[in-house]
Amino acid sequence: MKRTLLSTLLATAFGLGAAGAQAQISDGVIKIGVMNDMSGLYADIAGPGSVVAARMAVEDFGAAAKGMKVEIVSADHQNKPDVGSTVARTWYDVDKVDVIVDVPTSSVALAVNQITRDKGKAFLNSGAATSDLTGKACSPNTVHWTYDTWMLANGTGSAIVKTGGDSWFFLTADYAFGHALERDTEAVVLKNGGKVLGKVRHPFPGTDFSSFLLQAQASKAKIIGLANAGGDTINSIKQAAEFGITKSGQQNLAGLLVFMTDVHALGLATAQGLIFTESFYWDLNDQTRAWSKRFASANGGKYPSMVQAGVYSSILHYLKAIDAAKTDDGTKVVAQMKQMPTDDPLFGKGTIRADGRKIHPAYLVEVKKPAESKGPYDYYKIRATIPADQAFRPLAEGGCPLVK
Amino acid sequence: MSEIFGVPTQALFGQLLIGLINGSFYALLSLGLAVIFGLLNIINFSHGAQYMMGAFVAYLLLNKLGIGYWWALLVTPLVVGASGVVIERLMLSKLYKLDHLYGLLLTFGLALIIQGLFRNEYGSSGQPYAIPSQLTGGQNLGFMFLPNYRAWIIVASMVICFSTWYVIERTKLGAYLRAATENPQLVQAFGVNVPRMITLTYGFGVALAALAGVMAAPIYQVSPQMGADMIIVVFAVVVIGGMGSILGSIVTGFSLGLIEGLTKVFYPEASNTVIFIIMAIVLLIRPAGLFGTQK
């Protein structure tokens, strides 16, 4: 079943007379490895679209003009930590990859996080959710870019509790990500005066959620919190509608991690009214719109998810840091990335904290009704913008050993 | 209210019913596999992909041609079954003289190719397919809310399973089929066109998978890997029931659905593994499966 597909793309041609800048670049090439789920339930969230985003970042940075040679390789980790670890080791040891990007699926991300640290390379995570990457598992070689479970819990959880959803039942994907999301959301619910009536852990990935939904229904909790993602969330929402759980008006779903690609797959008729938190939406401003249209034309018409946007933005900043530090040594580049403020068309101006957490605003969004949507991918109303300094877990609370 | 191991009996009824619904899909899918293995000796690994194709053909019929669910129930198995006939004629028929393994590898490869093509075209999150308007809503049974569509699935799959069993085990056509697998030369000598019969049998098995796919489309997202998620469990069902045993696959399909449903109540974390634990135990005690006969 091993079908690691390795597509090598020569992103830029070798620049002439690049000797100066090249001096500290190992073997003269900066090799970026995009590792994610290329074929399973998270393939639309990240998948081949993340490779498109990576290629755009290299182009927009103008690597060729600066005399830097950048290559992009990609692989499918199949959401399995063992497969991801094998790919990471092969990339670092044999293929001379300098940085691994994306890596959705928290269990795989935690494994790659450790390997990257051992090898002294760099890891720019966009796809995974667990806040442990900048908490107890934080590393001087890792930057966690797009979002995390604390951000989701804080944005969605507190908004729902404050509007009356004060009793919860969790439907949780049974692996590192689900557990982290459930833990962080539970903390927010309790802190805001709500209570948790029960939880059920479903196998990952699942297909039939009706059994778990009935258990949630029996709990009489006002809010059923979906601590899962991708295809699991889509099927949970669909089947909750089928079993009349949402129609009764007694109970509501809270999608704790919903991506725009999920809304697209569900259709607005089923997804309308869902409230959740994202850190990127294509229709935020002129810059995000322009970039997203370019992305879509290179990605078969599909608009970017926040994960794909994060891949673009993190690679751009990584290349800027290499340009400034004149080295591709993983530990040094990540240190440089933390020193320089970030600035890109998708996430605006931001910073990277000592624990590796990238800081930017988050958005509480609500899915539009079919009648409100004016065109393809016109899906969200922005209900609130959570400012950058409140969107993520305070530095001191994460328990990251790098923070003194 | 009375309780069993801390779970209210009423909630338990609901869970058993859900288990029965999932069991319906296991039974339908393992039935097709059992027919194909029993009569052709081919381990059809592309069964999951053909189930997925069934769902996608129904989706395309609705969105491109405006053909709704009820016609799709009829048209889809014919279309996908025909594709099965083509595969059998062009490829599988060349492999009958070789080891089982070759058929397995071929169909596995086909499954990967088919899934890859659909993923490339439609992405992995899948496409929505609405429940037909006649079957929306549901009944409040007191202990649970039973969507009409799920009730329809239980009834339909039981009818399909029983008819297939009846045709193969109790009619003259079925007798020819079974005879042809025992001794093709002899049956051919009686003037029966054995190769054609085998081709049609494969087409029928594939059509069953496609039918299950159409029935699954409104419940699950129509997505390229919907079959891959299901097929491993279904193979376990076939192995537990006894490779090639029609009755075995039906009974095991429904009962494993029930067991899985109960696991989801008492120890949800194990609901993915429970079927494989049972498989391991059955293989230790009865290597030919519960309903299989040692050859």
Q: How confident is the model at residue B5 (pLDDT cuts 50, 70, 90)?
A: low
Strand partners, A99: A32, A122
- CB-CB under 8 Å, A211 with B125: no
DSSP class of residue A133? Answer: G
Q: How confident is the model at residue A138 (pLDDT cuts 50, 70, 90)?
A: very high
**Contact residues on chain B for A200, CB-CB shorter than 8 A:** 268
Helical residues (DSSP H) of chain B, grouped into ranges: 9-40, 47-65, 69-90, 100-122, 148-170, 172-182, 184-189, 194-216, 226-241, 246-266, 274-285
Q: Which residue of B has its CA nearest to A39?
A: B124
- Residues A334-344 have pLDDT tens digits of 999 999 999 99
- Residues B45-69 have pLDDT tens digits of 999 999 999 999 999 999 999 999 9
Share of chain B above pLDDT 70, in %: 97
* Strand A223-227, strand A275-278: pairing: unpaired
- CB-CB under 8 Å, B220 with A208: yes
To the nearest whole Å, the CA of A344 is away from the closest chain B CA by 28
Token pair belonging to A265:
């797959």
CB A311 within 8 A of CB A101: yes
pLDDT of B153 strictly over 50: yes
Residue A48's H or E segment, with its range, is: helix A47-61
DSSP class of residue B4? Answer: E
Look at the pTM and tell me if it is higher than 0.90. Answer: no
pLDDT of A7 strictly over 60: no
Residue A29, classed as helix, strand or coil, is coil
B10 vs B21: CA distance, rounded Å = 17
pLDDT of the residue at A347: 97
**Contact residues on chain B for A211, CB-CB shorter than 8 A:** 15, 18-19, 261, 264-265, 271
User: What are the two backbone dihedrals, phi and then psi, of residue B6, each rounded to the nearest 5 degrees?
Assistant: 80, 0
Shortest CA distance to A352 belongs to which of A144, A187, A77?
A144
Interface test with B, best of A41, A210, A250 (most B CBs within 10 A): A210
User: What does the pLDDT average to over A66-86?
Assistant: 95
pLDDT of A273 strictly over 90: no
B15, B125, B229 member nearest A205 (Cβ): B229
Residues 279-298 on A with a CB inside 8 Å of B are none
B18, B116, B125 member nearest A214 (Cβ): B18
Judged by phi (left if over 0) then psi (alpha if -120 to 50, else beta), residue A367 lies in: beta
B156 vs A25: CA distance, rounded Å = 65
pLDDT of the residue at A18: 40
pLDDT of A377 strictly over 80: yes
- From first CA to last CA, the distance across chain B in angstroms is 51
- Residues B217-276 have pLDDT tens digits of 999 889 998 998 789 899 999 999 998 888 999 999 999 999 999 999 889 989 889 999
pLDDT of the residue at B295: 56
* Listed range (A232-236, B26-30, B118-122) with the worst mean pLDDT: B118-122
User: What are the two backbone dihedrals, phi and then psi, of residue A154, each rounded to the nearest 5 degrees?
Assistant: -65, -45
B48 vs B234: CA distance, rounded Å = 9
- CB-CB under 8 Å, A39 with B123: no
pLDDT of A140 strictly over 90: yes
Question: What's the mean pLDDT when you consider all of chain A?
Answer: 91
pLDDT of B6 strictly over 60: yes
| DSSP string for residues in A83-98 | HHHHHHHHHHHTS---
Shortest CA distance to A113 belongs to which of A98, A124, A127, A129?
A124
pLDDT of the residue at A16: 35
Q: How confident is the model at residue A249 (pLDDT cuts 50, 70, 90)?
A: confident
User: What does the pLDDT average to over A209-222?
Assistant: 92
List of residues 6+ apart from B74 with CB closer than 8 A: none
Q: Choose between A313 and B179: higher pLDDT.
A: A313
A259 vs A68: CA distance, rounded Å = 34
